[in-house]
Amino acid sequence: MSAKDKREKERLEGINRRTKEVVEAAKIVFSEKSIEKATMQDIALKAEVGVASVYRYYATKLDLVMEVALDYWENDFSYEPALLVGTGIEQTSQMMDHLLIKLKSHPTMLVFMEQFDAFISSCEKEQVPLESYEKMITNNNALITGIIEKGIQDGSIRVDVNAEEIGNTCVELLLSLAQKIALREQVLKPMGLIDPSATIDVYKQMLIKYLETA
């Protein structure tokens, strides 16, 4: 590697490192202040960089919000299909268990996703670069759809279900439920009226019971 190539490699590595630091700082700030109220200056302070640096990597707060959403899906919510074993219904259960573990270990993601929907809805549609985000969600849905199709073929999942419909809705329903619980937990948990883990697990058991053959 030439000296020029080495310098370029180090420069790109430095940019990647700093953008990652900004994204991680944004996660914290969005969780503490909300997406709507957080400013780029707040994020710069948390990342310990100048606000000009934040704007150099992300021209608008919307760009940064989209990057945080992608980072959550790619790094905190993704799953390696090769880890799935067994029948279709067993793999469905494994996938749901994985999602539940991720949701429990990343509560800030739930708060962010709830705020994300409202924030995106308030933006002009032509300003929102949703292509990459939609592709990431579609890939996750396709994985679950494939698992359900496998279960239909191997006889572990009932044949009268539409694999694509189930694949497209089960994660969305899980996220919606988890988001609502995360918000309500702040009020209800101190009163002993809610057990988030148990509530979400009930949803998983209901889905498995609905899908599996008798």
Residue 32, domain CATH: 1.10.10.60
Q: What is the DSSP letter of 162?
A: -
3-state secondary structure of 157: strand
Mean pLDDT of 130-147: 79
The span from the CA of 119 to the CA of 133, in Å, is: 15
For residues 117 and 57, the model is more confident at 57
Domain count for the chain, please give it.
Answer: 2
Q: What percent of the chain has pLDDT over 70?
A: 88
In terms of domains, do 71 and 47 share one? Answer: no
* pLDDT at 65 exceeding the cut of 90: yes
Cβ 41 vs Cβ 59: under 8 Å: no
3-state secondary structure of 212: strand
pLDDT averaged over every residue in the chain: 83
Confidence of residue 178 (pLDDT cuts 50, 70, 90): confident
At 117 the pLDDT is 82
The token pair that represents 96 in the structure block: 């749901």
The boundaries of the domain holding residue 30 are 1-59
Mean pLDDT of 109-133: 79
Q: What is the DSSP letter of 59?
A: S
In terms of domains, do 87 and 141 share one? Answer: yes
Length of the chain: 214
Confidence of residue 53 (pLDDT cuts 50, 70, 90): very high
| Residues in Cβ contact with 102 at an 8 Å cutoff, skipping those fewer than 6 apart | 76, 77, 109
At 52 the pLDDT is 94
